[in-house]
Structure 1
Amino acid sequence: MINSNLESLAPQELWKNFAALNAVPRASKKEERVIAFMMDFGKSLGLEVSKDQVGNVLIKKSATIGMEDCKTIVLQSHLDMVHQKNNDTVFDFDTQGIDMFIDGDWVKANGTTLGADNGIGVATIMTILASTDLPHPAIEALFTIDEETGMTGAMGLQAGVLSGEILLNLDTEEDNEIDIGCAGGIDVTASKTYKEEASPSGAVAFEISVKGLNGGHSGIEIHKGLGNANKIMNRLLFKSYDQFGLQIASLNGGSLRNAIPRESVAVVIVSSEYENNFAEDLAPLISNIQLEFKTVDPGLTISIEKLTTVPAQVIPVVDQEQLIQAIYAAQNGVYRVSPDFEDLVETSNNIARVTVGKGNINIQCLTRSSVESSKMDLAQSLQATFELAGFKVVFSGSYPGWTPNPNSDILDVLKRIYKEQHQEEPAVVACHAGLECGILGTNYPEMDMISFGPTILGAHSPAERVSVSSVQKFWEFVKQILKEIPKK
């Protein structure tokens, strides 16, 4: 449902379009409804609308009077959003629109991701397409699909579809930054099967829960030292096996590869002789972990609850040892900082999802790097770690980074406009997120690309929020850029 409060914000049409977009469920790989929404929007304006073979939507708009001799620009954002919610939030992403509210200078969602990533970019382009009084050159508005879980939209865009010479990607999250490069990524998946064995007699069962972590974007926020629920759970399991002979019946941690995992839940058994002191003896370790993360994750809770029913089957000890040791050894977080760009994470890994049960173990990672050889070095390090523990490892979804071009002509335009508007220089950066520019550049190598956006915090988590004043700043920036696109 559209939240009417947002429509009172300026710029009114942009927020109206964002609210309308957020009324449409748009999970990655489930974009049918938002594709139809965007095509209907373009057709309602009488513009040329098309959809390619993978589902990307292209809407073309002619130049306004007096700007016909300027270079054609591609305005690009992605339609999908990350679907994450708090454990106690009742919400169906497949049927419900995002429930939004205004909190001071921030627009937030009630217990879910907001979709400002990349919904504000989409809404901005919609506002430009619908405008009748904004000067602009010829526009090709490209709305890609599935950016968040594989970038298959950008990968599937064929050469020759676009004719624009300049691409403005509206998908970064600090309003004082202009991005000229980004990280590539690769999915690393480790899996193995095991033969379940019967729980021994005289066992008692417990549920161990790790919850309340902030989570967040596994690229942009990987350097913050945020807690990873899978790594924290693994510490508890390692200690419990060593001290109590614990065995795992099931384990479910994390959700999406591109989100730092916030929660993990394990059902385990121990001998009845430990029934009364299992939780008590783990209390010092739990206190230490909470102390380690008190600054970045003050909401972290670790609970141990005795269950009334003992699971019938558990993972064998050998397979369990291999699992716990492999996760302990596997790299998580920053692997290498760039020697060429100050404060830029070059290479990292997120142990995003760990599941155990019914004879199957699955570990999903997302490895990122702005250097292709370093990306593969870390991926192969993970491969070696998991294969030593008897796992089968598969690489998939690899996509390239975006090599910075400090001599970009459009960069010079944006830097000048930003300084004129704010009396200070923008930060020209490369980011550790995956932007589509690198992929699009493979088929359009001569296109001059830049990326920028308003301030969005907590992306890929229910703490996601976007600054109202920053969106206003961003909108004024975009409007002036459109006026000053160079001539052909």
Structure 2
Amino acid sequence: MRNELRTLEPTIVWNKFADLNEVPRPSKKEERVIQFMIDFGKALQLETFKDEVGNVIIRKPATSGMENRKSITLQSHLDMVHQKNNDTVFDFDTQGIEMFIDGDWVRAKGTTLGADNGMGVAAIMALLESTDIPHPPLEALFTIDEETGMTGAMGLKGGVLQGEILLNLDTEEDDEIDIGCAGGIDVTAKRDYKEKATPAGHVAYAIHVNGLNGGHSGMDIHKGLGNANKIMNRLLHNHYVKHQIRIASIEGGGLRNAIPRESSAIFSIDQFQKQKFEENFKALAAVIKNELSITEPKLQITLTSEDLPKKVMDVSAQEELLKGIYAAHNGVYAMSVAFADLVETSNNIARVLVNDGKITIGCLTRSSVDSAKMDLAEALKATFELAGCQVTFKGNYPGWNPNPNSDILKVLKNTYENLFHETPRVVACHAGLECGILGQNYPDMDMISFGPTIQGAHSPDERVQISSVQKFWRYLLAILAAGPKR
């Protein structure tokens, strides 16, 4: 199927995407893709180097007649989110992505596709390799670790880049021009708990929550999707109150920037409560599935018998945990008053791990207003501290303040209207883009973000639209041709 993919138009872009997706590149494990990109630039005999944190920079002189145009930095990130379906056998550390064509879409077989931000990377590679595309002086910036901390952008020092304009190719709707984004912060709650011997006369069960859509914890947070960790907590809390279940372990979710799709828990219950418990479980599972029937039609909540665990949580720690997660905010917290229909502030309860006397809860809090981001983070901190946890903040990164008077914005709007005979949507997004971080060390660089249509990012349902890639490529070439003079 990869060979069939390479015949799609524009072939130069799809071939680069196929090449890229043969290289394992999960976040924080980008060594191979960094070397791949260095080898690529050097093979073209272009100025190529790696900065001290691992970002790769490649420079290409202007084509004839374009030397007097402002230099452009094209930026995309090398890493990809590694998520797969529970029944998919795949190793992100060693395997290339297995892709297939589905009508007007390209998908992956049971895993994330890496179109976020691989399509941007591929487009930049195609421009660097091209011999017949007019363009001003180009500088390619391939950052690392965007998905789990943006440490590449944070580590890029001032004075490295030479571009006067930055085109970030990491937006996921092809009719959007992005001029602002949310900042974020990781909120992590941890505590120890005492384990007790499982009470005599107990039997054990496991609950499994799966079949959820998942998705991007910024771009999809407003869609009313189910969060596996919150669903699991609701089930456990209800049956603790009614049937005094005793929890042995919980494992739910994973990456902070992905809405959790799956959760599992093991617990015990007095054998005399079995019949009533099973009846109540069936009823509550049906209620939850009905509530989410529109947004999560494939949701599965199953109950199975389990071998009796030797130990369970201390009752007081269990009660504090369940109440803490119940009280912790998840989802949209506030809508923007500056941009219609834009989420301003949100939180994703991304990871819940309870086992061997330790609790870990991981969240990603986002906002386009820094003070609101920290306010929600402090509210989460207070909630989890009341549950006996120690709470830390890490990976704080700024948002990107919109500049509606940007010169490059005028170029992109005019170019879009001339090409497609319609007005583009000028927006800010609730995802984290690297522009805000890069702007700290490059405050005079005019920045904008756009890209092809990608749906289901950060989930195994990720897909990129073939016709949209064609539109995006045409648009990108026209922008380079129309770039402002110095």
Q: TM-score range by the shorter chain?
A: over 0.9
What is residue 439 of structure 1 aligned with on the other side? 437
What is residue 254 of structure 2 aligned with on the other side? 255
Q: Report the secondary structure of 1:289's partner residue.
A: helix
- Give, in whole Å, the separation in 1 of the partners of 2:267 and 2:93: 32
In the alignment, residue 279 of structure 1 is paired with which amino acid?
E
Q: Report the TM-score, using the length of structure 2 for normalisation.
A: 0.99
Deviations 1:314-357 (A, max 9, x none): 11110000000001000100000001110000000000000000
In the alignment, residue 486 of structure 1 is paired with which amino acid?
P
Q: State the Cα RMSD in Å.
A: 0.7
What is residue 12 of structure 1 aligned with on the other side? 11
Q: Among 328, 333, 336, which residue is 1:335 paired with?
A: 333
- Give, in whole Å, the separation in 1 of the partners of 2:199 and 2:273: 14
Deviations 1:433-460 (A, max 9, x none): 0000000000000000000000000000
Q: Report the secondary structure of 2:67's partner residue.
A: coil
Percent pairwise identity: 66
What is residue 273 of structure 1 aligned with on the other side? 272
Deviations 1:103-137 (A, max 9, x none): 00000000000000000000000000000000001
What is residue 476 of structure 2 aligned with on the other side? 478
2:203 aligned with 1:207: no
- Give, in whole Å, the separation in 2 of the partners of 1:480 and 1:119: 21
Per the TM alignment, residue 275 of structure 1 is displaced from its structure 2 partner at its CA by 2.7
What is residue 183 of structure 2 aligned with on the other side? 184
- Give, in whole Å, the separation in 2 of the partners of 1:107 and 1:349: 30
Q: Structure 2 stretches of 5 or more lacking a match?
A: none
- Give, in whole Å, the separation in 2 of the partners of 1:321 and 1:180: 45
Deviations 1:202-241 (A, max 9, x none): 1101010000000000000000010000000001001110
- Give, in whole Å, the separation in 1 of the partners of 2:278 and 2:24: 41
- Give, in whole Å, the separation in 1 of the partners of 2:130 and 2:419: 22
Deviations 1:378-404 (A, max 9, x none): 000001111111110000000000000
Equivalent residue runs for 1:277-356 within 5 Å: 277-307=276-306, 309-356=307-354
- Give, in whole Å, the separation in 1 of the partners of 2:337 and 2:278: 45
What is residue 148 of structure 1 aligned with on the other side? 147
In the alignment, residue 236 of structure 2 is paired with which amino acid?
L
What is residue 57 of structure 1 aligned with on the other side? 56
Q: Report the secondary structure of 2:12's partner residue.
A: helix
Runs of 4+ in structure 1 deviating by more than 3 angstroms, as ranges, are none
Q: Report the secondary structure of 2:93's partner residue.
A: coil
- Give, in whole Å, the separation in 2 of the partners of 1:392 and 1:288: 34
Q: Report the TM-score, using the length of structure 1 for normalisation.
A: 0.99
Per the TM alignment, residue 86 of structure 1 is displaced from its structure 2 partner at its CA by 0.3
Per the TM alignment, residue 274 of structure 1 is displaced from its structure 2 partner at its CA by 2.1
What is residue 77 of structure 1 aligned with on the other side? 76
- Give, in whole Å, the separation in 1 of the partners of 2:365 and 2:224: 16
- Give, in whole Å, the separation in 2 of the partners of 1:211 and 1:223: 20
- Give, in whole Å, the separation in 2 of the partners of 1:207 and 1:3: 40
Q: Report the secondary structure of 1:394's partner residue.
A: strand
- Give, in whole Å, the separation in 2 of the partners of 1:282 and 1:248: 15
In the alignment, residue 323 of structure 1 is paired with which amino acid?
L
2:182 aligned with 1:164: no
Q: Report the secondary structure of 1:36's partner residue.
A: helix
- Give, in whole Å, the separation in 2 of the partners of 1:357 and 1:448: 49
In the alignment, residue 238 of structure 1 is paired with which amino acid?
H
- Give, in whole Å, the separation in 2 of the partners of 1:99 and 1:322: 43
Per the TM alignment, residue 284 of structure 1 is displaced from its structure 2 partner at its CA by 1.2
Q: Report the secondary structure of 2:90's partner residue.
A: coil
What is residue 356 of structure 2 aligned with on the other side? 358
Deviations 1:88-116 (A, max 9, x none): 11111111100000000000000000000
Per the TM alignment, residue 10 of structure 1 is displaced from its structure 2 partner at its CA by 0.1
Per the TM alignment, residue 283 of structure 1 is displaced from its structure 2 partner at its CA by 1.1
Per the TM alignment, residue 13 of structure 1 is displaced from its structure 2 partner at its CA by 1.0
In the alignment, residue 185 of structure 1 is paired with which amino acid?
G
- Give, in whole Å, the separation in 1 of the partners of 2:273 and 2:322: 21
Q: Among 415, 422, 425, which residue is 1:424 paired with?
A: 422
In the alignment, residue 209 of structure 1 is paired with which amino acid?
H
Per the TM alignment, residue 8 of structure 1 is displaced from its structure 2 partner at its CA by 1.1
Per the TM alignment, residue 195 of structure 1 is displaced from its structure 2 partner at its CA by 1.6
- Give, in whole Å, the separation in 2 of the partners of 1:465 and 1:57: 26
Q: Report the secondary structure of 1:217's partner residue.
A: coil
What is residue 387 of structure 2 aligned with on the other side? 389
Per the TM alignment, residue 196 of structure 1 is displaced from its structure 2 partner at its CA by 1.0
In the alignment, residue 248 of structure 2 is paired with which amino acid?
A
What is residue 457 of structure 1 aligned with on the other side? 455
In the alignment, residue 319 of structure 2 is paired with which amino acid?
E
Per the TM alignment, residue 5 of structure 1 is displaced from its structure 2 partner at its CA by 1.2
In the alignment, residue 255 of structure 2 is paired with which amino acid?
L
In the alignment, residue 372 of structure 2 is paired with which amino acid?
S
Between the two proteins, the alignment pairs up a number of residues equal to 486
- Give, in whole Å, the separation in 2 of the partners of 1:200 and 1:454: 57
In the alignment, residue 153 of structure 1 is paired with which amino acid?
G
Q: Structure 1 stretches of 5 or more lacking a match?
A: none
In the alignment, residue 411 of structure 1 is paired with which amino acid?
L
- Give, in whole Å, the separation in 2 of the partners of 1:16 and 1:297: 35
Deviations 1:142-168 (A, max 9, x none): 000000000000000000000111000
Per the TM alignment, residue 276 of structure 1 is displaced from its structure 2 partner at its CA by 3.5
